[in-house]
Amino acid sequence: MSEIEVMDTSAIGGCDPEAAICARGIVRDFQAGQSTIRVLHGIDTDIRSGEMTYVVGESGSGKTTLISIMCGILWPTEGAVRVFGTDIYSLSDTELVNFRLNNIGFIFQQYNLIPSIDAAANAAVPLIAKGVPVGEAREKAIELLEALNIGDQANKLPRQLSGGQQQRVAIARALVHEPRLVVCDEPTAALDARSGRRVMDLLREVAVAPDRACIIVTHDNRIFDLADRILVLEDGRVTHDGTEMPDDH
C-alpha cells in the first residue's frame, strides 16, 4: 500500500443503494519517467449484486488497474469507490485491510502463493488471518480444493504443482472465507476447457447470490456465454455495457 495519491472522494453520487460496487469518476495515472500516463479516463460504473460481471478488453486497456481499484488494492488518482455501501478510499489503511479481509476475495493474474507452505495452508490464509483456528481453516480449504478437483494436491508445495493447479489453489484462497465480492483476473487462462468450466461453475455457486457479486476479467471467449453482464474496456474507457459481447468482438 505504498501508493499515496491526492484524491477527491467528494465525487460519489447517484449510487444505487443496492449496487455491490459504485465507482465514480475513476481516473488513474502512472508515472513513467518524467511523463504521466493516464490509464483510466474517468470511469463511472455500477456492479450489481447477484450478477457475474465480465470485464473484457485488449491487453493494456486497463482491466487489471480498474479491478484493483474496485477491490481496494490500488488507489485511484481521482474518483471514489463504494463497496457494499462503504466508501473504501475514505477508510484508514487498517480499516481498509479489515474491510478487504471481511468482504473481498481476489485472484490475481500472478497467483501470489506463499512458496514455503502447502496448498491447503495457502488456500486457508484468509481464514487464518481472520482468526479461525488453523485446523478448521485447513479443513474448509481442503473442501474447496476437492471441489476444484485438486484435493489430492493439498499437501504439496506450490512449486510441486502445475500452473493450472496453482491457479486453482489461488481460486480456493479467494473463496474460502466466503467473501461478498469476488474479483478474478483471468481465472481460466491457465486451464483447459473442462477445468475452466468447473472453476466458473464453482465461482457462480459461491460468488453469485442476491447479496454477493463477482467480477471476472477475461480474454477467454470459451466462457463469454456465462456472463450476466459484460463491460468492454478500450484504452481506459468503458465502450460497451450489456448482457452480451458487442458484434464487433
Ligand X SMILES: Nc1ncnc2c1ncn2[C@@H]1O[C@H](COP(=O)(O)OP(=O)(O)O)[C@@H](O)[C@H]1O
Closer residue to Mg ion in complex, CB, 154/233: 233
Select from 185, 176, 81 the least CA-distant residue to 124: 176
Closest by alpha carbon to 81, among 50, 109, 41, 47?
A: 47
**Per CB under 6 A, 39 contacts ligand X:** yes
Residue 65 contacts Mg ion per CB under 5 A = no
Between residues 65 and 165, which has the closer beta carbon with respect to ligand X?
65
Q: Which of 24, 27, 62, 187 binds ligand X (CB under 6 A)?
A: 62
Q: Helix or strand or coil: residue 220?
A: coil
| DSSP secondary structure letter of residue 120 | H
Among 2, 10, 34, 59, binds ligand X (CB under 6 A): 59
Contact 187, 211 (CB under 8 A): no
Evaluated on CA atoms 213, 191, 121, 116, the torsion sign reads negative
Contact 103, 130 (CB under 8 A): no
CA distance 82 to 21: 6
Told to check if 5 binds ligand X by CB under 6 A, we report no
65 binds ligand X (CB under 6 A): yes
Nearest distance in Å: CB 154, Mg ion: 29
> Which residue in the set 53, 61, 64, 167 belongs to the binding site for Mg ion (CB under 5 A)?
64
Query: Rounded to the nearest whole angstrom, what is the least distance from the CB of residue 77 to Mg ion in the complex?
Result: 18
From start to end of the chain, where are the E strands? 19-32, 35-48, 52-56, 78-83, 86-87, 104-107, 181-185, 213-217, 229-234, 237-242
CB of 34 to Mg ion, least distance (A): 25
Q: Can you read off the three cell numbers belonging to residue 89?
A: 478510499
218 contact, one of ligand X, Mg ion, none, CB 5-8 Å limit per kind: none
**Whether 38 contacts 236, CB under 8 Å:** yes
Stretch of residues binding ligand X (CB under 6 A), selected from 10-18, 55-63, 119-127, 163-171: 55-63
Residue 61 interface partner, choices ligand X, Mg ion, none, CB cut-off 5-8 Å depending on type: ligand X
Closer Cβ to ligand X, 61 or 166, answer by number:
61
Q: Binding residues for ligand X, how many (CB under 6 A)? A: 11
**Interface residues with ligand X (CB under 6 A)?**
30, 32, 39, 57, 59-65
**Interface residues with Mg ion (CB under 5 A)?**
64
